[in-house]
Chains A and B, each alone.
Chain A
Amino acid sequence: MIYADNAATTKLSEAALCTMTDLLREVWGNPSSLYTHGQEAKEVLEKAREEIAAVIGASPREITFTSGGSEADNQAIRSAAERGRIKGKKHIISTAFEHHAVLHTLEKLRKEGYEITLLDVHENGLVTPEEVGAAIREDTCLVTIMTANNEIGTIQPIREIGAVCRARGVLFHTDAVQAVGHIPLNVADDNIDLLSASAHKFHGPKGVGFLYARKGILLSNLIEGGAQERGKRAGTENVPGIGAMATALKEANANMAQNAAYLTKLRDRLIAGLKEIPHSALNGDEKRRLPGNVNFCFEGIEGESLLLLLDDKGIQASSGSACTSGSLDPSHVLLAIGRVHDVAHGSLRLSLGEDLSEEDIDYIIRSVKEVVTYLRGFSPIWRDLMSGKKEFIL
């Protein structure tokens, strides 16, 4: 099996699995209990907090554990919005291609009376710091822009965007779920006020993540209850998950340069191979993208049938077609970079992992070529394109 859907989730690393099973078996006390067994769990929690903070250049008190990336996004945005409201600032800037955890939260805030500006991400899937600066107003309380896009992998100039926000006194949140553990990040150097991360995207377990909030930024609770996480996130902590997340992040961080170099080589080989397919196009900037991300549109075919046939060949990938999203519209990310519906339906995302070899990449290229040719062979759109009845878009 060739697993090429690491943007959806990653396999738990052996080390993280070991940490997790050890903790489940041995350290099952409640971190809030004052007896030894509880305090052991508390120690695990605080050690994980220190280790995670160290990786991103934060201090431990700035890390709040959450149930994952979605919760961290929700809490970051809600907190900044609340701080803004108190000061009479109810304008938020973001982009059109954020993850739904961000977009749907913003949509709710819009209904609650906030004004939301969604910046254009252009054909290459990038925003510029200048555009962010131009959108900032007197009443802007937050800029939230993802570090790396989950579908097309483009990496934003967050350090520069952060600097613009800092200079204008506006909070900057970045959804770094796809970036943490994969590309270098440092909250101090990168001028980040709030950052969301999720363990299962860097070979940690699902259902656990963290929110970094710079010292002095008051968080609003999404979950009320006990005094866990300094009162900012109630609920008995997911000790094994949090411990395993720290193990996975340390490991990812230690191997980051090596992994990124290897994945970039595989990625570029795959991109070069798929470009040979006529009437296809790479989605997102070719170089400013995550090391393992490849995303293409193929004209004349539909993504779900492509995925099913690749699955038959042992290749697991994903698509932004409407049929795979369960809605009538194709991916909002592809629409945001200007792909029209007709071609957005024919998209394929391959997000690579370190376990793949160059032979695997060549097999993927061969298989995609084969399947695309096969599906085009009985596509009425392809017939119209080939006979000149319809004009090619790509």
Chain B
Amino acid sequence: MALYSEKVMDHFRNPRNVGVIEDANGIGEVGNAKCGDIMKMYLKIEDDIVKDVKFETFGCGSAIASSSMATELIKGQPLSEVRKLTNKAVAEALDGLPDYKMHCSVLAEEAIQSALADYEKRTGKHVE
């Protein structure tokens, strides 16, 4: 039995949207090295839409896959949709995660929400 679903392995092996956005206007970093997972999300938001998103992750296979999937789920989406992103949606899109790896999807949700909060802080805008 494989540890992870095909989807998880695909996003782990070929992570989408890896890297940095130099002129990002929303950046969020969550987790810590002590626990073994850190995710950093870069958002480029224009006209209330996620024009571009990139991530950097230090972590296990499911942490990398969760980051990758989360970026795919919000890319091109209006901010109102981004706000609604949950860890459940990330995990479901990956065809599930082992129970003890669910915290990776939580981290992905938190990284995105933290980047969004950073955008709000920088621009003074409020996203519903």
| Residues of A that sit less than 8 Å from B by CB | 300-305, 308-309, 312, 321-324, 326, 328, 330, 341-342, 345, 378-383
| B19–A305 CB distance below 8 A | no
Stretch at the interface among B28-36, B44-52, B72-80, B116-124: B28-36
| A302–B15 CB distance below 8 A | no
**A to B CB contacts below 8 Å, 15 in the list:** A302-B58, A305-B60, A308-B9, A312-B13, A321-B60, A323-B60, A323-B62, A323-B101, A328-B35, A341-B33, A345-B33, A345-B36, A380-B38, A380-B58, A382-B58
| A302–B37 CB distance below 8 A | yes
| A322–B57 CB distance below 8 A | no
Q: Mark B1-36, 1 if CB is under 8 A from A, else 0.
A: 000000001001101001110000000010001111
Q: How far is the CA of A342 from the CA of B18 in the complex (A)?
A: 22
| B34–A378 CB distance below 8 A | no
Q: How far is the CA of A345 from the CA of B37 in the complex (A)?
A: 9
Instruction: Please give the number of chain B residues whose Cβ is less than 8 angstroms from any Cβ of chain A in the complex.
Output: 28
| B58–A341 CB distance below 8 A | no
Q: How far is the CA of A328 from the CA of B36 in the complex (A)?
A: 8
| B100–A379 CB distance below 8 A | no
| From A300, A341, A380, A382, contact of B36 by CB (8 A) | A341
| B100–A378 CB distance below 8 A | no
Return A335 CB to nearest CB of chain B, in Å: 11
Q: Which 4 pairs show the lowest CB-CB distances between chains A and B?
A: A323-B60, A304-B60, A342-B33, A345-B36
Residues of B within 8 A of A312 (CB): 13
Contacts A308-B9, A380-B40 known; list 4 others, CB within 8 Å: A323-B59, A378-B57, A379-B56, A381-B33
Q: How far is the CA of A300 from the CA of B33 in the complex (A)?
A: 9
| From A303, A321, A326, A380, contact of B29 by CB (8 A) | A380
B96 at the interface (CB under 8 A from A): no
Residues of A within 8 A of B61 (CB): 304-305, 308, 323
| A322–B19 CB distance below 8 A | no
A305/B36 contact (C-beta < 8 A), A300-B58, A321-B60, A382-B58 known = no
| A342–B12 CB distance below 8 A | no
Residues of B within 8 A of A302 (CB): 36-37, 58-60, 63
Closest to A324 in B: B60
Closest to B40 in A: A380
B64 at the interface (CB under 8 A from A): yes
Q: How many A-B residue pairs lie within 8 Å, measured between CB atoms?
A: 67
Residues of B within 8 A of A342 (CB): 33-34
Residues of A within 8 A of B101 (CB): 323
Q: How far is the CA of A378 from the CA of B58 in the complex (A)?
A: 8
B39 at the interface (CB under 8 A from A): yes
| B12–A308 CB distance below 8 A | yes
Q: How far is the CA of A199 from the CA of B19 in the complex (A)?
A: 48
Residues of B within 8 A of A300 (CB): 58
Q: How far is the CA of A301 from the CA of B19 in the complex (A)?
A: 15
| From B20, B40, B100, contact of A326 by CB (8 A) | B100
| B12–A305 CB distance below 8 A | yes
Q: How far is the CA of A379 from the CA of B55 in the complex (A)?
A: 9
| From B34, B60, B63, contact of A341 by CB (8 A) | B34
Q: How far is the CA of A345 from the CA of B38 in the complex (A)?
A: 12
Closest to A342 in B: B33
Interface centre among A301, A330, A342, A380 (most CB of B within 10 A): A380
| A378–B18 CB distance below 8 A | yes
A301/B60 contact (C-beta < 8 A), A312-B13, A330-B36, A381-B38 known = no
| A379–B35 CB distance below 8 A | no
Residues of A within 8 A of B18 (CB): 378
Interface centre among B33, B62, B63 (most CB of A within 10 A): B33
Closest to A343 in B: B33
Return A8 CB to nearest CB of chain B, in Å: 15
| A378–B19 CB distance below 8 A | yes
Q: How far is the CA of A326 from the CA of B39 in the complex (A)?
A: 20
Q: How far is the CA of A305 from the CA of B37 in the complex (A)?
A: 11
Closest to A341 in B: B34
Residues of B within 8 A of A330 (CB): 36
Return A257 CB to nearest CB of chain B, in Å: 39
Return B89 CB to nearest CB of chain A, in Å: 22
Residues of A within 8 A of B20 (CB): 383
| B57–A380 CB distance below 8 A | yes
Q: How far is the CA of A380 from the CA of B28 in the complex (A)?
A: 11
Closest to B33 in A: A342
| B56–A378 CB distance below 8 A | yes
Closest to B34 in A: A341
Q: How far is the CA of A116 from the CA of B61 in the complex (A)?
A: 38
Q: How far is the CA of A382 from the CA of B108 in the complex (A)?
A: 19
